[in-house]
Structure formats: structure tokens, C-alpha cells
Amino acid sequence: MVSDEFMRDGDADSRSSHSERVLITGIGVVLPGTGSVRDFWENISRGRSQIGPLTRFDPQATGIPVHVAAEISGFDHRRHLPDLPERHAAKYSREILIAMSAAADARRDAGLAPGDADPRRVGIVMSSSRGPLSWWRDALTGASPAPFGDMGAMFRGLAGCPASLSAIHLDAQGLVTTLSNACVGGHQALGVALRELRAGAADVMFVGGHEFPITPEVAACYRATGGKVLSTEREDPTRAVRPYNSDREGFALGEGSVVLVLERASFAAARGARAYAELLSVASLNEAAHATTMDLTGKVTASLIETMLTDLGRDPEEVDYFCAHGTATPYNDLAESRALRALYPGRSADRLPPMSSNKPIYGHTFGLAGIMNVAATGLMAHHQTIAPTINLTDPDPECDHDHVAEGSRAARVGLAVSMSFAFGSQTAVAAVGAVS
């Protein structure tokens, strides 16, 4: 239940409050080995990697030395969308149905029933870096027979259809849109939704990500950027992604969808909603510098975090935890570690706030990654437990600080920061707070 404290900036009839709190009241998850928010928490908190042998394409036939991925298997949309007519589902792609399933599960998890909110004040913002790439690949290579031969092709080929079809299913008549901005898109989608809610344009916003990049073309693109970007692990898929470790060699491709329900605190309180956490702020910048490498001094990221916290009236000393982008690539991990050192110049490495990455569990999900991070951070604030970075056995000396590598840790998580980085020299961060 939402406490009365979260109504002090506006009552149930409020239509606009720039300072009103925004709460995360629902989480829907369809990921590898994960069909519910409970599964998600169990996997990240217990360090259960869902990365396994790659089955979507043949590494030998394609000449791409990638052997592992985080793949969804056995998905059945009927479990999540029991009221979706089969004649409609037949027109949609697997990707659309997975994103719609995550949105429907998020609504159920939030306890939102039809009629609880004015449909005109409910919106959806999604993030995806590549949209329906898998469908287009199959359509253009002949893997799908007569792919353009029915009206469903119009749905399956549009990047925005997971959001728009979810909106129809949920009767969301407010702002419905999809962002595509590589790995910072998820955080930016949260920022758009946060502004809608604080401007009084909406009471409820569904914010999600969907990504399905497990194709030889995507693997080849990342391999072409150089070594130690995409893991070449063969023997043990669960060890494929090793952020901050001295022998790290990159990420594994991951797929799926996660959707959050955000509500104005006064609206959530009026309907007696439970809240996982509070979304305090989102900040984003483009360095307008190197196209593929973030600032390696750490100072740009540290400045962005400090500015966001200052705008909130908070201080870096108050941050209890950082949810890292943590891709297990040499530059990303180094840049994040240096950002912490730049943010806390007077602290030794062993006194920096704890930071962990969920990439060893679900791989890299690009446009979905920021949503997943904020979902994970919100659950850590809710459970007052920090999920670990697994596979960290021999830390890079420059990345040797507190990664909670021993396993999940009971800890105060009152204020946390989630980070993301993207091609185009882009950085985005989000602040998440615990609720009583």
C-alpha cells in the first residue's frame, strides 16, 4: 500500500504537479527462463544465469565464433494473454506477443483493473534498438513463406506495433510511442513517461523495452567492432559474461521484454496500490564525441549523476547502490569504475558504494537494458537486498571495488542510481528511491 506521505504533493484530484512523486507499481517480465516478476527476482538475486548454448543460427555455417545467448524457449502467449482472440494473435509476430505479454503482466502485477483509470490518461512508451529485425530478416531471406501475403505483415514489420497493439489490448488512449536509441533508449523512455506524469497529462504510464537481436547479422556487426565485444565462450555458457573480471571478453546477446507501470503517487494512493519503489529522476546527455567509446575519464558520467542528484536536492554521499550497465567489455567496465572514482574523489576503492551488473544473467538486451536495470533496482529497493555481479573471480585492478560478488546482500537501498551507455557517445542515468 502507498503511504499518505506520498500524497503530500497532490491529492487524488490533482491534474498537474511538477514535484509529485511517481511510483513503480507493476512489473511485467518475459525473459529467458523467466515468466514472472518473481522469477526475475529469484534469478538476479540468486545469480542464476539464463545464458545457454546458441541455437538460433549455426556458428560454423556462418563463420561467426559466437556460441552462447540468452534465448526464450517454450513461450506461449496464451498464458499471459488469455483474452486475446486467436485470429488476432495469428497476425502478430513472436516479438509483438512477448511485448504485449509483458505489458499485460505488468497491469496485473499493478492490480490495475478496467475502469480504474481514465483510458485517456493512460499511455505507453516503449524502447527497442532494432525493432522487428528478426522478422524482417526471415522475411527477406525466405525463411518465412509468403511473409507479406496477409494483413499481419503490416503489424509484424513496424517497430512501434508492440506499443500500439499493447495499447489497444490495454485500452490505453494517451501518448503511445516507441523510442529507438540504442542502449540508452530504455532510460529515455522512462524520462518521457516521467514528464507526462509530472506534467499532469497522464495518471498511469506503461514503460517497457523489447529486443530480439539473436541473429547472425547482429552478431557479425558487433564482432566487426573489434575483439572482446561479443563473448566467444564455448564450454560454460553461464560463465560467458564476466563484467569487471580481468579476463572479460564481452557480452552475450539476450532477448525479451520488460514493462513497468508508473503512476502518480496520489493516483496510486487513491486506489490503494502497492509500490515497489519511486522513480525520482532520469537524466541523459550526448557527449558529441567519439561515436563508439564513452568518456574514459569517468568525469562526464560523474558530472551527469551529480547534476541529477543536485536537482533532486540529494548528494552522492546518499547513494546506497549503483546498477551498472556492466557489459563485460574492456572500455565500458573501465569507464563505469572510473565514474565512481570521479564521483567520490576522496574515497578509497573499498569505500565506494556497491555496484553490480545483471548482464551475466540475461546478456545484453540493448534497448531493453535500461528498463531491466530499473526493474532490478526497484526490486532491490523493495527487498532491501542487493543482487550480485556473478562470475567475478579475478577483478581487473582498475575495476576492483565492491561488486557484491559474494552473492546477494541484505543492505539499505534507500537511494540508487541506474546507468546506461550507448553508441553515439550517449549516457543516461536514473535515480530510484525506496518507499515505506
In the structure grid, which three cell numbers stand for residue 131, read together? 525493432
Is 221 tagged catalytic? no
Question: How many helices and strands (H and E) does the chain possess?
Answer: 14, 15
pLDDT at 77: 98
- The DSSP bridge partners found for residue 178 are 126
Q: What pLDDT score was predicted for residue 142?
A: 84
Q: Looking at residue 204, what is its pLDDT?
A: 98
What is the CATH class of 20-278?
Answer: alpha beta
Chain-wide mean pLDDT for the chain?
94
Q: Choosing from 364, 382, 401, 403, which is the catalytic residue?
A: 364
Sheet containing 52-53: give its strands across: 52-53, 68-70, 253-254
159 close to 367: Cβ distance less than 8 angstroms? no
* Tally of CB atoms within 10 A around 235: 8
What's residue 168's pLDDT?
97
Q: Does residue 364 have an active-site annotation?
A: yes
Contact 264, 20 (CB under 8 A): yes
Confidence of residue 74 (pLDDT cuts 50, 70, 90): very high
CA 367-373-374 angle, to 5 degrees, is: 105
Distances 285 to 90, 185, 426, 433 between C-alpha atoms, Å = 41, 12, 6, 22
Which pLDDT value is given to residue 19?
78
User: Do residues 334 and 399 touch, judged by C-beta distance below 8 A?
Assistant: yes
Say whether 281-433 and 20-278 share the same fold.
Answer: yes
Q: Is 153 exposed, middle or buried (0-12, 13-18, 19+ CB in 10 A)?
A: middle
Distances (CA, A) of 134 to 46, 137, 158, 207, 211: 31, 5, 12, 22, 10
Residue 244, pLDDT score? 98
Which three-class secondary structure state does DSSP give residue 92?
coil
Residue 91 near residue 280 (C-beta atoms within 8 A): no
Distance between CA atoms of residues 54 and 397, nearest Å: 32
Residue 196, φ and ψ in degrees, nearest 5: -60, -45
| Each residue's pLDDT tens digit, 94-113 | 999 999 999 999 999 999 99
Which candidate in 183, 323, 382, 401 is catalytic? 183
Residues 130, 366, 168, 144, CA torsion sign: positive
Contacts of residues 235-239 at CB distance under 8 Å and 24 or more positions apart, as own/partner, are 237/49, 237/51, 237/52, 237/53, 237/67, 237/68, 238/49, 238/51, 238/52, 238/360, 238/391, 239/49, 239/391
Predicted confidence (pLDDT) at residue 214 exceeds the cutoff of 80: yes
Tell me the three-class secondary structure of 383-397, residue by residue: HCEECCCCCCCCECH
Q: Which residue has the higher pLDDT, 338 or 1?
A: 338
How far is residue 213's CA from residue 145's CA, in Å, rounded to a whole number?
A: 21
Q: Are the C-beta atoms of 178 and 162 separated by less than 8 Å? A: yes
Grid cell locating 244: 569487471
pLDDT at residue number 289: 85
Q: What is the pLDDT of residue 348?
A: 95
What does the alpha-carbon distance between residue 299 and residue 342 come to, in Å, rounded to a whole number?
6
What is the C-alpha separation between 103 and 106, in angstroms, rounded? 5
Amino acid present at 170: L
pLDDT in tens, 236-285: 999 999 999 999 999 999 999 999 999 999 999 999 999 999 999 999 99
State which H helix or E strand residue 417 sits in: strand 415-422
Specify the CATH class of 281-433 in words.
alpha beta
DSSP summary character for residue 181:
B
Q: What are residue 364's phi and psi, to 5 degrees?
A: -100, 125
Residue 14 has pLDDT above 50, yes or no: no
How do the domains of the chain map onto residue ranges? 20-278, 281-433
The residue with greater pLDDT, 17 or 206, is: 206
Q: Which residue has the cell 537486498?
A: 385
DSSP state of 9: T
Would residue 88 show up in a list of annotated catalytic residues for this protein? no
> Is 402 within 8 Å of 355 (Cβ atoms)?
yes
Q: What is the pTM of this model?
A: 0.95
pLDDT score, position 80: 98
Residue 228 phi/psi, 5-degree rounding, is 60, 35
Percent of the chain with pLDDT over 70: 96
Residue 181: predicted pLDDT: 95
